Amino acid sequence: KQHEIAVIGGDGVGPEVTEAALAVLEATGAPFNFTHYQAGDGTLEATGVALPQETLDGAMKSEAVLFGAAGACAAQVILRLRAELKAWANLRPSKAYQGVPCLRPETDMMIVRENSEGMYFGGEDEPEPGKATATRIITDHASYRIARCAFEFAIQAGYGKVTAVHKVNVLKKTDTVFLEACRRAAKEFPQVAYEEALVDSVAMRMVLKPEDFQVIVTTNLFGDILSDLAAGLIGGLGMCPSANLGDGPALFEPVHGTAPDIAGQGKANPTAAILCAAMLLRHLGYTDKADAVEAAVAACLAQGQTTGDLGGPLGTMGMAQAVIERLGE
Ligand code: NAI
Ligand code: MG
């Protein structure tokens, strides 16, 4: 069977790194049919809308979406896509690779971030000048769903521990709802260790001792901040893929943006986009191919077969080619 994959390159280096990821996907021989769609600043200029209905329809009827990056309109495009695809889970792995200069080579963790509620969806208000409020919505339904997702991921990926990250000493009501849901989920997965930790102390421990963490499950705002912190530990956003999963097609996107300073020069680092391709393969059940892509990326990084930002001699497609050459090893 052919899997229908919607490809949205977007702006800047988005299409460049996406092309590299597609080359690797094609080389794996997975039975994918790619259809390209437009979105982003360029599309907004040309058509008056950043995310055309045709792109949305294409994404909705696909099995998975591969997204590059969008420019100034990124928030509109990606937030709308996540909402339409009902992608309530944001999975952000941070794994240090040998050969990549980084702060904490021991880092190997997955942050599972709730993507549908929390601080970013409750709305803000300004009841009087100089006074503004933000509402944080936490439900048992969404908390239990994301906690189960974290445990299921831990088992599938061979991680032994899930840490629920919260601030229940201050956010007593909302984080009690969150933690009670996490505890209920934890009982269903007795083979995985479960712990709870306060978000501020987690931030410190992630810097000092990242090996304490395997899978982190947390609410929207904390997950947003901690996942960038984790990216900083492993050598920056250029290394980080992410997956948005939920009730509709899954969407995979590098964490970085359009890198306007290097766009159009063929020198963007495709690592994050290629690791997105590996996550997509794994999501659709092609575990061996996903493993092969990740191993090939690791080999390239270890051997210095990388782009200039990591000190290597290759361009974007050159690195894709180097990954492809190592696929069978
Ligand atoms: P950025 O991630 O585009 O760039 C930050 C720095 O990292 C730049 O120096 C850039 O050259 C470098 N960089 C990023 N990706 C790289 C790669 N693959 N290879 C080598 N170097 C890379 O973030 P910035 O500058 O804050 O945002 C630029 C534009 O991207 C803005 O318009 C922003 O709205 C958009 N953006 C889009 C995102 C998305 O589509 N998901 C996420 C973040 C930003
Ligand atoms: Mg963020």
Read off the pLDDT of each residue in 26-31 and give the average, rounded to a whole number: 97
Which listed CATH number (3.40.50.360, 3.40.718.10, 3.40.50.300, 3.30.70.2190) goes with 103-233?
3.40.718.10
**Three-state SS at 65:** strand
* Count of Cβ atoms closer than 10 Å to residue 248 Cβ: 20
Kindly provide the ipTM of the predicted complex, given to two decimals.
0.98
Q: How far is the centre of ligand 2, averaged over its atoms, from the C-alpha of 167 (Å)? A: 19
Confidence of residue 328 (pLDDT cuts 50, 70, 90): confident
Average pLDDT over residues 150-161: 96
Residue 120 is a catalytic residue: yes
User: What is the mean predicted confidence (pLDDT) over 17-29?
Assistant: 98
How much is the pLDDT for 122? 86
Catalytic annotation present for 212: no
pLDDT of 238 reads 80
What is residue 79's predicted lDDT score, i.e. its pLDDT? 86
Ligand 1 pocket by C-beta < 6 Å: which residues?
13, 17, 69-72, 74, 78, 237-238, 253, 256-262, 268-269, 309
Per-residue pLDDT at 120 exceeds 90: no
pLDDT at 314 (0 to 100): 97
- Ligand 1 atom 25, closest CA: 259
Cβ atoms of residues 139 and 180 within 8 Å: no
Q: For residue 207, count CB atoms less than 10 angstroms from its CB and return exposed for 0-12, middle for 13-18, buried for 19 or more.
A: middle
In this predicted model, which residue has the larger pLDDT, 4 or 236? 4
Name the average pLDDT for the chain.
96
Distance CA 136, CA 139 (A): 10
Report whether pLDDT(329) > 80. Answer: no
Q: What percent of the chain has pLDDT over 90?
A: 94
Q: Which residues are within 5 Å of ligand 2 (an ion), measured at CB? A: 224
The phi, psi pair for 106, rounded to 5°, reads -80, -10
Residues 259-267 have a mean pLDDT of 96
Q: Model's pTM, two decimal places? A: 0.94
- pLDDT (0 to 100) of residue 137: 97
Reduce the secondary structure of 84-102 to three states and give it as a string.
HCCCCEEEEEEECCCCCCC
CB atoms within 10 A of CB 288: 11
Q: Do domains 1-91+240-329 and 103-233 have the same CATH topology?
A: yes
Task: Report the pLDDT value the prediction gives residue 247, as an integer from 0 to 100.
Answer: 93
What CATH number belongs to 1-91+240-329?
Answer: 3.40.718.10
The residue behind tokens 């944001």 is: 90
What DSSP string runs through 268-306?
A: ---HHHHHHHHHHHHHTT-HHHHHHHHHHHHHHHHTT-S
Rounded to the nearest 5°, which phi and psi values hold at 263?
-65, 145
Ligand 1 atom closest to the Cα of residue 73 is 34
Per residue in 92-111, pLDDT (tens digit) is: 999 999 999 899 999 999 99
Given a cut of 90, is residue 221 above it in pLDDT?
Answer: yes
**Residue 71 pLDDT:** 96
User: Is residue 11 annotated as part of the catalytic site, yes or no?
Assistant: no
Residue with tokens 């059940």: 285
Active-site residue, from 200, 209, 288, 291: 200
User: What band does 163 get if pLDDT is binned at 50, 70 and 90?
Assistant: very high
pLDDT of residue 126: 96
C-alpha to C-alpha distance for 248 and 103, rounded to whole angstroms? 36
Contacts of 83 (CB under 8 A, 6+ apart): none
Domain chopping of the chain, boundaries? 1-91+240-329, 103-233
Ligand 1 atom, smallest distance to 68 CA: 40
pLDDT tens for residues 54-84? 999 999 999 999 999 999 999 889 989 999 9
In ligand 1, which atom is closest to the CA atom of 270? 18
CA distance 284 to 289: 11
What would the mean pLDDT of 138-160 be, rounded to a whole number? 97
- What pLDDT digit, counting tens, does each position of 269-288 carry? 999 999 999 999 999 999 99
Can you give the pLDDT at residue 295?
97
Residues across the chain: 329
